[in-house]
């Protein structure tokens, strides 16, 4: 499972909720770090903050989806910030509770 979130405290809360559910988590706080982690190992599911300091995660989301990874965006932007071409991804509006996000991950992993 990959969590890409530039808010350290938010990322830690999501990571804790996932670990509590027995899920191994890799956390990236930048797009570059996320791409490096994906190059090492393709996750089964990814929760992506839409906008990071070094860019948008749209291309990463498409690449992950095309390779069979379940993808969700968590963003403070309005729903129309994610283009229709990325309709494959579940969208959560911030602030979304770590438990809600973790429930999505668990459900996604059971589907794969």
Is residue 41 classed as helix, strand or coil in its secondary structure? coil
Task: Tell me the C-alpha distance between 28 and 34, whole Å.
Answer: 5
| Confidence class for position 110, pLDDT limits 50, 70, 90 | confident
Question: Average pLDDT over the chain, rounded to whole?
Answer: 91
Would you state the torsion angle of the CA atoms of residues 93, 71, 86, 35, taken in this order, to the nearest 10 degrees?
Answer: 110
Q: What is the rounded average pLDDT of the residues 66-94?
A: 84
The tens digit of pLDDT for each residue in 15-27 reads: 999 999 999 999 9
pLDDT at 79 over 90: no
Predicted TM-score (pTM) above 0.75? yes
The residues facing 62 across adjacent strands are none
For the chain, helix, strand, coil in percent to 5 are 45, 20, 30
CB environment 57-84: b (16+ within 10 A), e (fewer): bbebbeebeeeebbbbbbbeeeeeebee
């Amino acid at each position: 499972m990959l969590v890409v979130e530039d808010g350290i405290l938010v990322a830690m809360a999501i990571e804790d909720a996932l670990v509590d559910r027995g899920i191994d988590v890799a956390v990236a706080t930048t797009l570059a770090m996320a791409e490096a982690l994906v190059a090492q190992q393709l996750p089964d599911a990814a929760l992506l903050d839409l906008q990071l300091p070094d860019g948008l995660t749209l291309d990463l989301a498409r690449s992950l989806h095309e390779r069979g990874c379940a993808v969700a965006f968590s963003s403070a932007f309005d729903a129309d910030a994610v283009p229709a071409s990325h309709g494959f991804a579940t969208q959560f509006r911030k602030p979304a509770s770590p438990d809600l996000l973790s429930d999505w991950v668990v459900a996604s992993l059971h589907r794969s």
